[in-house]
Amino acid sequence: MAADSPTDFRLRLRRDGNAVIAWFRDMWARRWFRWLGYMAAAGLAGLALIWAVFARDLPSVDQLRDYQPPLPTMVRDGEGVPVHTYARERRVQLDYSEYPQLLVRAFLSAEDKTFFDHGGIDYPGIATAVITNLTSSGRPVGASTITQQVAKNLLLTNELSYRRKIREAILAMRIESALSKERILELYLNEIPLGRRSFGVQAASRAYFDKDVDQLALHEMAFLAILPKAPEKYGRARFTEEALTRRNFVLGSMERNGWINAAQRDAARAMPLGLTSGGSNAVAQAGGYYMEEVRRQLIAEFGETAEDGPHSVYAGGLWVRTPYDVKMQTAATRALRAGLIRYDAGKGWSGPVATIEADDQWASRLASSFIGIDYDNWRIAAVLSKSAGEARIGFADGSTGRLPAGAATLGYRKTGGSAFSAMRAGDLIAVKSTGGDNYALRNIPEVSGGFLAESPHSGRVYAMQGGFDVRLSPFNRATQAERQPGSTIKPFVYATALDNGMTPASLIVDGPFCVYQGARFGNKCFRNFGGSAGAGEHTMRWGLEQSRNLMTVKTASQVGMEPIVETIRDMGIGEHEPYLSTALGAGSTTVEKLVNAYAMLANHGRELKPRLIDYAQDRRGKVIFPKNWRPCDGCNMADWDGRPMPRFAPTGKQVMDPMTAYQTVHMLEGVVQRGTAQRLRDLGVPMFGKTGTTSGPKDVWFVGGTPDVVAGVYLGFDQPRNMGGYAQGGSLAGPIFKQFYQESLSDRQPIPFAAPKGIRMVRIDRRTGRRVYGAWPGSDPKASIIWEAFKPESEPRRTIREEEIKPAAPAKRQDAPVREDGGRRSDSEFLEDRGGII
């Protein structure tokens, strides 16, 4: 019996299978069953066809899980405060939880009130849209849900076709199965285009109301919710009525959905739109030339757009920390502009900034020129028309004004007539309001210049001004303009001499010096500034303080030009030819390079690199630049662990002997105390520096500073030409540095320049260079006895000769001018007028 059971069981299974087949055959013989089978097969074939036509090449939803939207680059200053953004679109990313729920509900009421109920597709809405489109010949209407809009905005194109709508629906269902409703809403609220170059609700909130989303009132939330339908329409003044109607509809929908009450609805409907003219950035766009230079460096490192890589400037969402100092930058801008205007005052009108076509599109032409100015309430205007008594002018915002002829009486420096008579329609000019719609002409200086301030400890650049205004001329004269340095190169000539056995007390003859240049050119004879023949034998210090050309070229001739140009190269000033004229500044360099070289002098000869970027972080906070960056472990501990404070080791190679660098700085302190830069002496702080004036003069310079900040400035025409015989570094460039210091650094505690190990400070007579005993330096900067810095075993030797112990009386000079009353003028007065190349 046990053996029979398996046989019976197998027979039953076989019978069951035969029964299923038999049942199917019986059913297939019936017509309705066959039709049902045909329909199922057709449905499967249709689904396969739909997949092949619409869904086969759809993008993967996985892209949205780790979606990285294009984000602007944010720049912070030295204190960590955001000061600038690099953006071509307004974009700000927020988490879903950061959006007010009432704002979310406003968008749901306007766009997709069943969002939390459907699976990505609104079937009743689709049916209504299909019927409308079949019975209408106008623009097709849609019934896209928020999920479908996310699919279109982030993964598809804006193509108007049924094919795209089907692909959009398929993708929406996939998104719903992959992401939470909150995540979908977050993507939508952050990426939806809402006009005024804004993408996302927070950016639009700033663009239309100059508010963050958590500051919006109900009527403002409702307005933002209407923008997805027509982002470039509702924000314009001529569509105010349509915008109010649509906004009020959304408010009514919110009330019907139970999200606000009737009183809130009516109060919000009574409010005007309240739009700002153009919105603003949450971050003030500071820095001008400084931030433009940072942008250039970032683009060189990471690229400009998303196609250049994940960390591009305009899409990578970088966070950039800079040494930028708001106070110093403001002072640098004000000081340079004041210096340019001082020089240009009284010279007449320099002409229009640019020209455009003065047709009916003048406003857009002016706006697209991006020419502007932010000085003293000046504005850039286009001359639209001109009559005998006034000119009609227009501004980039479309407004217009009047320029009376009496407000444009400056002489036109090119023709000698009045500025008003020289104006033509289409000229872009600078004006300032005088009340109402009346304006007066202002002149933008034709002369220009550059300014840069740097830390001598690290090379960090605190401030940079490359001209009057970056919107007038993007050319950065602090980093791009190659100019002759004039006498500012002399410290490096004397530094080379110090490295070759000379001392600050070495005697050099200030007298005629000629060099034979061959049969073709004959003798080349050098001269001092002002043409003086010389002042006899003096110390190296005196020659540098008074900027004596003849003493400099004699020193260069004695030392040799090869080591001098090597020093200039090592200090990063540039590649110069080994000619004696190079020792007087005949080469070329930039403000940035020269300031950095002076900073290295103050840094005891250790190499520095000008640095505008401390570090850059990606959108997640990881430091990606510089590549060798590492954190300062333990610098931000909550409690002291008893170990020594972390200290940074010196960086950069030694490019100049530390004692040589200090001796040079010490002599340059004398330039400020009693030399060509003594205008700065009344600042009352330890300061070194050097003035410079090139042949012509075509450029005037000052470079110098304190132990903590070194700065430099030059003035000159972009196309070099004579600035006038009165132009000197001490009288034009020096006051610019002085104003900068007074406005940004005067509240700092003064500190002296520290001498490196090995320096010996010895009392000497600054006129003769002899060692002094029995007397001490006093507080008078022009006293004959001073402390001088010497390297070991190089100081003047002891002597028993009385005439070499006592300070020497100043010798008479044959070229010293006399007063009208017969008295001799002081060195400082003489040098102010004639002495030394300044």
* Residue 681 structure tokens: 């002496």
DSSP letters for 253-282: HHHHTTSS-HHHHHHHHTS-----SS---S
Pairing of strands 90-91, 198-199: parallel
Helix locations, 156-217, DSSP H: 162-178, 181-191, 201-209
Burial class of residue 296, CB neighbours in 10 A (0-12, 13-18, 19+)? middle
**Residue 826 φ then ψ, to 5°:** -70, 160
Distance of CA 454 to the CA centre of its chain: 15
Under a CB-based contact definition with an 8 Å cutoff, are residues 546 and 465 in contact?
Answer: no
Task: List the 710-716 sheet strands across, edge first.
Answer: 461-465, 448-454, 710-716, 699-705, 688-693
* Residue 63 structure tokens: 């892209």
Residue 411 has what DSSP assignment?
B
CA dist 614 and 631 (Å) reads 12
CA dist 196 and 455 (Å) reads 41
111 has catalytic annotation: yes
CA dist 574 and 608 (Å) reads 15
**Residue 723 φ then ψ, to 5°:** -90, -5
- What are the angstrom distances between the C-alpha of 458 and each of 99, 574, 616, 649? 43, 20, 17, 11
Among 800, 805, 796, smallest CA distance to 760 is for: 796
Residue 418 has what DSSP assignment?
B
Under a CB-based contact definition with an 8 Å cutoff, are residues 405 and 387 in contact?
Answer: no
**Residue 606 φ then ψ, to 5°:** -90, 140
On the CB side of 296, how many CA atoms lie within 13 Å of its CA? 12
Residue 516 is which amino acid?
Answer: Y
Catalytic residue among 109, 111, 186, 454: 111
Catalytic residue among 144, 312, 487, 794: 487
CB neighbourhood size of 704 (10 A) = 29
What are 383's strand-pairing partners?
393
User: Could you tell me where the beta strands, DSSP code E, fall in 9-125?
Assistant: 73-76, 82-86, 90-91
Residue 31 is which amino acid?
Answer: R
Under a CB-based contact definition with an 8 Å cutoff, are residues 383 and 427 in contact?
Answer: yes
CA dist 145 and 160 (Å) reads 16
CA dist 389 and 391 (Å) reads 7
Chain position carrying tokens 């001092």? 528
Distance of CA 516 to the CA centre of its chain: 49
Among 586, 403, 339, smallest CA distance to 486 is for: 586
Residue 741 is which amino acid?
Answer: Y
Under a CB-based contact definition with an 8 Å cutoff, are residues 663 and 762 in contact?
Answer: no
Under a CB-based contact definition with an 8 Å cutoff, are residues 513 and 610 in contact?
Answer: no
Among 390, 373, 398, smallest CA distance to 438 is for: 390
Coil, strand or helix: which one is 150?
helix
* Angle, helix 4-28 to helix 31-50, in steps of 10 degrees: 90
Q: What b-and-e string marks burial along 673-692, b requiring 16 or more CB atoms within 10 Å of the CB?
A: bbbbbbbbeebebebbbbbb
DSSP letters for 313-331: TTTB--EEE----HHHHHH
DSSP letters for 798-826: P---HHHHSPPPPPP-TT--B-TTSPBPP
803 has catalytic annotation: no
Which residues form the catalytic set? 111, 487
